[in-house]
Amino acid sequence: MTIADYATALVTGASSGIGAATVRALCDRGLETWALARRPERLAELSAETGCHTLAADVRDGSGLDAALEGLKIDVLVNSAGVGRGMEGLLTASPEDIAATTETNLGGTLQAIRALAPGMVARRRGHIVNIGSIMGLYPMSAVIYGATKGGIHMLGSTLRLELQGSGVRISEVSPGRVHSEFFAANLKDPAGAEALNTAFKLLTPEDVAASVVFVVDAPAHVNVSMVELCAVEQIPGGVQIAPLET
Tens-place pLDDT, residues 89-127: 999 999 999 999 999 999 999 999 999 999 999 999 999
- In the chain, the domains with their CATH numbers are 3-229 (3.40.50.720)
What residues are labeled active site? 145
Spatial neighbors of 220 by CB under 8 A, at least 6 apart, are 1, 2, 5
DSSP 104: I
**pTM, two decimal places:** 0.92
**pLDDT tens digits for range 140-192:** 889 999 999 999 999 999 999 999 999 999 999 999 999 887 777 777 767 77
Cα–Cα distance for residue pair 111/115, rounded to 1 Å = 6
Q: Note the pLDDT of residue 237.
A: 74
Nearest to 173, CA basis, from 54, 47, 25: 25
Integer Rg of the chain from CA: 18
> Side chain identity at 240, as an amino acid letter?
Q
Q: Note the pLDDT of residue 238.
A: 64
